[in-house]
Structure 1
Amino acid sequence: MFSLKLVKFSVFLSYVILYTKAQRATNKQIDQLDKLLLYSGWKNLNVVKFVKYNCNKYHLENLIKTPTHRSLCMKKVRALTVHLGCTYAKVINNLFSSIINGLSICTKNKKRIYICTEGFIKIITLFIVPLATLMKGALDALDSIHSLPWAYFKKNYYNHYIMSPLLERIGDILDKLNERTLSRYDLSTYYWAFDTIYSFSKSIIKDLKNETDSYCEFVPYNQYYLWNQWALDYRAIYQQGDKLKFFKFITRKFKDYIKSVIIENYFQLGFKFDPITEETFVPTPEDLIIQELELKATEEEPPTLLEIETH
């Protein structure tokens, strides 16, 4: 027993020593972080008042404008990763709370069970899961600037890696939904898939609260503001005589919202997606400047990972 405790203590001590030594950043790390923060999108993140990490409060504006000192670079990386995680948490909350509201409407009409179930499976598959993949990739890429990235350690080994495990888990719903094949001749398959999506969405909302309570101080907002706005937009269109089907309208709203999130909270933050490796990375300082200039010069939207229907 004594020897086992001694081994554990030795491992812990070695980790502390390694961690302590790693706090002084290299010129490459400092330059990479500072150049990333020059990207225009960081100044537009406004859903989080401040984040809490290691008993300290961090405001994004101060993190952006304060020069990165060698001894503080690692703390800055951590604080920025937490801030980005909080931002992504609100996006995920908006999406899954809207799914829950949409499913609730579908229960009022049994004839909609086919359309709603197939529609939300499509939304989740084509839009939400790929978005979660991009978000996790961005968090991991930012975190990789740190000398000891959170991604190297198991959950709760040293510090909880905010949002990354949850974003990865969102893809699990596809495996769950693939357990049974939908059949128009067997309505029970639709009810099963419907309940699976609803239960999964509720669990994500619950886990988001646990994920963010210790870290994120959000700007006050209505959890259902996105869905409420969509409902108002649809009512206005309907009153004008446009009989656009509700679920087609909602699908378009999900697509447009996720597209804007990818542009504003991913590409405009300087992250790049490698279509060959399907991984997100932080470009070199030279690439960051070139990418920013190209976006301004062409005024074109960056490509997305998602399959977006245009008709």
Structure 2
Amino acid sequence: MFSLKLVKFSFLLFYVILQTKSDSLLRKKLNKIDKLLTYPGWKNLNDVNSIEYSNRKYCLKRLIETPTYKSKCEQKVRGLTIYLGCTYAKVMNNLFSIIINCLQTSRKKSNQENGKIKGCICIEELINIVATLIIPIATLMKGAIDALDLLHRLPWANFKRAYRRPYILSPLLDRIGNIIDQLNDPIVPCDDKSIKSSSFDIVYSFSYCMIGNLKYEINRYCDIKPYDEDYLWNEWIQEYKALFRHGVRLVFFKFLTKKIKDYIKTVIKEKYFQLGFKFNPIIENTFIPTPEEIIDLDLEFNNR
């Protein structure tokens, strides 16, 4: 009889310990979410009107202002993850729209006299832009989405693909690095084949496919504020022409690289660090700091 009571007491004690530990972990998670949403960048996100998930519509203002109750925690994490994915989808759509416009420009150059070499130089510059600018920002974006997702009790990232909902944007961002693997295959020298083959086709097909996939993601979840997809390209072209008219002679792709670099720096600052995400350069991983950690946003940004 005594041993039976001891067993019951042991089970009860074990249950209390587990429940206490679970409550403690949940409280830490709730505090982490609340702390994250105090960063100024969240209130400045304005590309998306609302998102829809599981037949429910969410707007960012409501997600931010609603207290993170225990019963609403999972719902809030899903809403924020999808909203961030929609925001990043627009950024990547902007970047690949610029790549498409550049490729079309390089194709025109290749059809002109002495255009093959110029066209090939354009492709080489574009490959460099993708490798050194677009892939790194895609890595940061994927890290931020994954870090938010991990706050959920059942993270999408832990589900087998066949049994889960589409994981908003994260797998797509992961695929962006694949283009470099394709381009690392031996490339035919510029003076042997026209710009229409080889690397041109790879970059063009990949970019066109990415835009299609991004639009699918956006249409599935996101109510994006209407905008001209070529607004950045048109704005930069007008700026370049204005500089040219005033006697400033710049190589177009050097000008373009600088504009893309400036745009990406702004995105990283306003839509990554100012949202409270932190990057660990040692393990190349994004994480959400604990409420006790103090982050100097300017220092974090300048170290990138």
Same fold (TM over 0.5): yes
- Check 1:214–1:234 CA distance in 2 against 1; reply closer, same or farther (3 A cut): same
Tell me how far apart the structure 2 counterparts of residues 190 and 286 of structure 1 sit (CA, whole Å): 55
Q: Is the 8 A contact 1:272 1:280 kept in 2?
A: yes
Matched with 1:80 is: 80
User: Displacement, 1:195?
Assistant: 1.2
User: Displacement, 1:190?
Assistant: 7.5
Matched with 2:50 is: 50
In the alignment, which of 271, 276, 282 is matched to residue 265 of structure 1? Answer: 271
Specify the code of the residue in structure 1 equivalent to 2:282. I
TM-score by length of 2: 0.87
Q: Is the 8 A contact 1:182 1:189 kept in 2?
A: no
User: Displacement, 1:221?
Assistant: 0.5
Local SS of the residue matching 1:187: coil
Local SS of the residue matching 1:49: strand
Local SS of the residue matching 1:71: helix
Matched with 2:302 is: 302
Specify the code of the residue in structure 1 equivalent to 2:167. Y
1:192-212, Cα deviation, whole Å (9 max, x unpaired): 101110110000011111112
- Check 1:76–1:156 CA distance in 2 against 1; reply closer, same or farther (3 A cut): farther
User: Displacement, 1:133?
Assistant: 0.7
Tell me how far apart the structure 1 counterparts of residues 40 and 175 of structure 2 sit (CA, whole Å): 30
Specify the code of the residue in structure 2 equivalent to 1:146. H
Specify the code of the residue in structure 2 equivalent to 1:295. L
Tell me how far apart the structure 2 counterparts of residues 182 and 286 of structure 1 sit (CA, whole Å): 55
Matched with 2:11 is: none
Matched with 2:255 is: 249
Matched with 1:146 is: 152
Q: In percent, how many aligned pairs have the same letter?
A: 53
User: Displacement, 1:186?
Assistant: 2.9
Where does 1:104-253 land on structure 2 (aligned, <5 Å)? 104-110=104-110, 111=115, 112-155=118-161, 157-181=163-187, 183-187=189-193, 191-253=197-259
Q: Is the 8 A contact 1:117 1:190 kept in 2?
A: no
Q: Give the gaps of 5 or more residues in structure 2.
A: 1-21
User: Displacement, 1:188?
Assistant: 5.0
Tell me how far apart the structure 1 counterparts of residues 130 and 237 of structure 2 sit (CA, whole Å): 20
Instruction: Please report the RMSD computed on the Cα atoms of aligned residues, expressed in angstroms.
Output: 2.0
1:103-156, Cα deviation, whole Å (9 max, x unpaired): 111111122212111100100000001111111000000111111111101335
* Higher-Rg member (1/2): 2
**Which moved further from structure 2: 238-247 or 197-206?**
238-247
Tell me how far apart the structure 2 counterparts of residues 154 and 209 of structure 1 sit (CA, whole Å): 24
Q: Is the 8 A contact 1:43 1:61 kept in 2?
A: yes
User: Displacement, 1:191?
Assistant: 3.1
How many aligned positions are there? 277
Tell me how far apart the structure 2 counterparts of residues 78 and 182 of structure 1 sit (CA, whole Å): 46
Q: Give the gaps of 5 or more residues in structure 1.
A: 1-21, 305-311
User: Displacement, 1:184?
Assistant: 4.0
- Check 1:189–1:182 CA distance in 2 against 1; reply closer, same or farther (3 A cut): farther
Local SS of the residue matching 1:128: helix
Matched with 2:101 is: 101
**Which moved further from structure 2: 183-192 or 234-243?**
183-192
Matched with 2:32 is: 32
- Check 1:283–1:216 CA distance in 2 against 1; reply closer, same or farther (3 A cut): same
Specify the code of the residue in structure 1 equivalent to 2:42. W
User: Displacement, 1:242?
Assistant: 0.5
- Check 1:98–1:183 CA distance in 2 against 1; reply closer, same or farther (3 A cut): same
User: Displacement, 1:164?
Assistant: 0.3
Matched with 2:68 is: 68
Matched with 2:7 is: none
User: Displacement, 1:189?
Assistant: 7.7
Specify the code of the residue in structure 2 equivalent to 1:168. D
Specify the code of the residue in structure 2 equivalent to 1:132. A
Q: Is the 8 A contact 2:120 2:195 kept in 1?
A: no
Matched with 2:89 is: 89
User: Displacement, 1:56?
Assistant: 0.8
